Structure 1
């Protein structure tokens, strides 16, 4: 871990709940500002798309290269957004009725013992447009392929090289529908899962780069 928090101003919590919902407090302390950002992004997502698909993915850098991490993550989301827009446009050109989909996201940057950092990412999509990452063994035509292509574009490397650094965890899919009575339970499950992203441990405050980011609306 490369973690010097002596000069940071963050609110830390050792509590077992956030907004009355359980969190993974075994990773305490958790950073309240990061939890607030996740919470606000969930709110934006479900307000716009009342049926929301939330997807967890991890992005790792290839060994042996150094990157401007914040520039890379910005490029990643720009590429993914462009691919989603192009896919919707192409489907509509084919006469398919497709709902709009505004991409929202949260990311955290971490570093343990490796040379490079890595990212934990939470994506929010319109469930009426995309409701699965697809077969992660396929390299075309689904969300997993788009995510890998976006990572390759951000890194400026080949798809095959970038693919090695994209990890889809087993418990990656969450579905939210604020019109259903189960909505709070759905949010509770997601908050518990991604509260791990708000842990102070393994955040790097030594290089002046951001460790947390989110879509703004």
Structure 2
């Protein structure tokens, strides 16, 4: 498949969230995964502001990326924080520059083997609601075209959260994001439980839960709750359709 056709598929996939009751968590994880695929990064993480304007880690492609995101938020240090506060892209930040500007974040990033990082804002008409972070094991330089593509992916995902129909119906974005955050807490609990029960890593546990949610047409939150209360057995997640 050509890159152009793949890009078309991804944009349709992200735009398909513009329906009632779309799964916010699935949208955010899809954005991370497609950004890694199309921009040749090794990992991605995404943070969003909750109803109190506090940044929360919402999605990641690996456990390492999630830990780095948590570190940045908890220590209030890193390119993602600057990206969120300014609304400006922070691309092609190598670890030498990271070391000078964010020394503690530099140490944490280097420990996980990443040598460059990029941060792109989720924004619409001046409103910034979060940041997508990309981590690269090598000194990776994004071209202008790559940066524009990454921003376009962020923009269409932002529209999925802020589209005008939601505003016209009087729904509150903060409540939607808070609901996603609550679901994220349950999902982290379920990942740990499934990991322990099945003797697998947390990343594989999430992959199994997400695949199960998709093939059974259930929200991730519902599957997470079922894993936690034991109504979905550990081996059931591995069963084919």
Say whether the fold is shared (TM-score over 0.5): no
Larger fraction in strand: 1
Tell me which of the two structures has the higher relative contact order, counting C-alpha pairs closer than 8 angstroms and 6 or more residues apart.
Answer: 1
Larger fraction in helix: 2
TM-score for the superposition, normalised by structure 1: 0.28
